[in-house]
Copies of this chain bind each other. A is one copy, B any other.
Amino acid sequence: MKPSTPPTNYRPKNPLISPRFGDIATFNRLPYLPDLKGKQVDVAILGVPFDGGTTFRPGARFAPRAVREASALNRNFHPTLGVQVYERLNVVDGGDISVNPLNLQTTFKNIEKHVSQVHSAGARAILVGGDHSILLPELRAIHKKFGKPILVQFDAHTDTADSAWDEKYHHGTPVRRAIEEDLLSGSDIFQIGIRGPLTSADQESYCREQKINTLSIDDFYDIRKRDQFFHLIHSKAQKGPKKKSRPVYVSFDVDGVDPAYAPGTGTPVVGGMTSREALDAVRKLKGLQICGANVVEISPPYDHAELTSLLGAALIFEFLSLMASE
């Protein structure tokens, strides 16, 4: 996953020529390149405008557009990680994955296929959901390309529920389904920010049985536990076969942060971390081999002043910076 040699071919539009509020909105004002075949691209940012797996407030189907708008404030240099992203990586806006708003299974197939095409073209994908159900087909594609990844999941919920209304696939189940499909091992899953009332005490036992690593919001605010948790991620990641690092997939559900910071989401849970703490935690993944990432559950109809979309755009930049720092 070595980034391309500079100078890169794809750069964000220059704000001094075209003001930030102007022209076609693409992710980070990057070139729109829906077909990667034969192109030298390191990372494609893709929208997945699908909220057919939502069980409370819908609206995430409008997130890719909203994040494209909010990412207009994109810049190049990450001062904390010390990396000039667009001089290290060729990044493009790969457009949206074709979804069927009325059919989850068709959509899942499209997602898996499209992400695999990105992989075939030698690039990694950052996905902008959409609700969290899209994680499952992504993991199917990831698994095909990279084998079982380590999953780092920022979330208020564990997403390990079983069926609802006899439906196995919705935004509360992707992690359970992924384990069942053997795309992930429970002990490779690291969940951060889990909180709030649970449906029942039994919900915790599934996670325990599967050996899922959970950093509850209470533990998150215990600095010692937080440090240990990230240490564990790193040590796990370094134990790949043949001494190679293992690939890490980062899934960021914006309800992992407090609704004050991310009001535009579908199933908000009060009492979460701040945006700053979240960004800081993401940066702790520096040095890992990020094989892909997503940011999900942004619901623009419930957002205000683009707060949540701006967070989504900031997270994309963090993911890119991690990839550029490898």
- Residue ranges of A at the interface with B (Cβ–Cβ < 8 Å): 15-26, 32, 47, 49, 51-59, 61-62, 64-65, 68-69, 72-80, 82, 84-85, 93, 95-96, 98-104, 106, 164-167, 169-170, 195-201, 203-204, 216-218, 221, 258-261, 263-264, 267-276, 279-280, 301-307, 310-311, 314, 317
Contact = CB atoms under 8 A, between A and B. Distances in A.
Given A16-B165, A24-B32, A197-B77, A260 B272 contact: no
Contacts of A310: 259, 268, 270
A101 B54 contact: yes
Given A21-B62, A58-B58, A84-B200, 14 more contacts: A17-B98, A20-B56, A21-B56, A24-B93, A25-B68, A56-B72, A77-B203, A77-B204, A79-B195, A102-B167, A103-B167, A218-B280, A221-B276, A270-B311
Contacts of A72: 56
Contacts of A261: 258, 260, 270
Contacts of A196: 75, 79, 314
A264 B301 CA distance: 11
Contact of A307 (B20, B169, B263): B263
Contact of A25 (B25, B84, B199, B267): B25
A188 to B, nearest CB: 23
A302 B198 CA distance: 29
A43 to B, nearest CB: 16
Given A21-B62, A198-B79, A307 B52 contact: no
A59 B19 contact: no
Given A59-B58, A275-B258, A76 B23 contact: no
A82 B197 CA distance: 10
Most chain B beta-carbon neighbours within 10 Å: one of A51, A54, A82, A271 = A271
Contact of A198 (B24, B77, B272): B77
Nearest to A216: B79
B305 A24 contact: no
A287 to B, nearest CB: 18
A68 B16 CA distance: 22
A57 B169 CA distance: 22
Given A102-B52, A195-B79, A24 B24 contact: yes
Nearest to A104: B102
Contacts of A164: 15-16, 102
A305 B259 CA distance: 9
A4 B272 CA distance: 32
A102 B164 CA distance: 9
A268 to B, nearest CB: 6
A71 to B, nearest CB: 11
17 contacts: A19-B99, A19-B165, A21-B49, A21-B65, A59-B59, A73-B268, A73-B269, A77-B199, A77-B200, A77-B204, A79-B196, A84-B201, A103-B165, A103-B166, A218-B280, A263-B304, A268-B310
